[in-house]
């Protein structure tokens, strides 16, 4: 079975690697110490501290495995020429209804964080913007109806 490629900016890739290193070098040791302390308490059959530590260890190992898979299957995206919206582009758009400018970075779904202005290439807005150029108006289907955005600027 072929695993899905994970689209990441270089910054997003570095953050995943940093998190993986932290989990392997710091959190694993902390959980192992907690497990060791719980075992020292004695009778494991009725030791809730041991059960909690084992559950935490299993969760941690699952998270490590997930990060390793994402990193292994990642494609680092690079912004295009600044003339056309591509993954990795920072795009400033004007909401034509409210006459407000917003800036978004187009990223893969793993990195998407609307609070930080990072939108997925798979989101309705991300899909509408990809391949477009400055001054183009895009229509985005949203729960509130169709929203029109005019592309004001594209940066690498």
Q: What six digits make up the tokens of 155?
A: 């940066």
Q: What is the pLDDT of residue 60?
A: 96
Domain map (residue ranges) of the chain:
6-76, 84-155
Asked if 107 and 12 count as a contact pair (C-beta separation under 8 A), the reply is yes
State how far the Cα of 126 lies from the Cα of 75, in Å rounded to an integer.
18
Mean per-residue pLDDT over the chain, rounded: 90
137 touches 150 (CB < 8 A) = yes
Neighbours of 126 (CB within 10 A): 22
* Tokens found for residue 129: 């913007």
Assign 1 a pLDDT band (cuts: 50, 70, 90). Answer: low
Q: CATH topology for 6-76?
A: Helix Hairpins (1.10.287)
pTM assigned to the model: 0.74
Task: Report how far Cα 138 is from the mean position of its chain's Cα atoms.
Answer: 24
- Name the class of domain 84-155: alpha beta
Name residue, tokens 């729960």: 143
């Amino acid at each position: 079975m072929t695993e899905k490629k994970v689209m990441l900016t270089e910054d997003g890739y570095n953050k995943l690697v940093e998190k993986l290193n932290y989990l392997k070098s710091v959190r694993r040791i902390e959980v192992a110490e907690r497990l060791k302390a719980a075992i020292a308490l004695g009778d494991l059959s009725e030791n809730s501290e041991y059960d909690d530590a084992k559950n935490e260890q299993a969760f941690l190992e699952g998270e490590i495995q997930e990060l390793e898979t994402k990193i292994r299957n990642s494609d680092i995206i690079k912004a295009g020429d600044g003339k056309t919206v591509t993954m990795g582009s920072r795009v400033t758009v004007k909401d034509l209804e409210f006459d407000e400018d917003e800036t978004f970075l187009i990223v893969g779904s793993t990195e998407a964080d609307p609070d930080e202005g990072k939108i997925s290439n798979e989101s309705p807005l991300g899909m509408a913007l990809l391949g477009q150029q400055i001054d183009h108006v895009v229509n985005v289907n949203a729960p509130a109806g169709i929203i029109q955005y005019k592309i004001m600027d594209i940066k690498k």
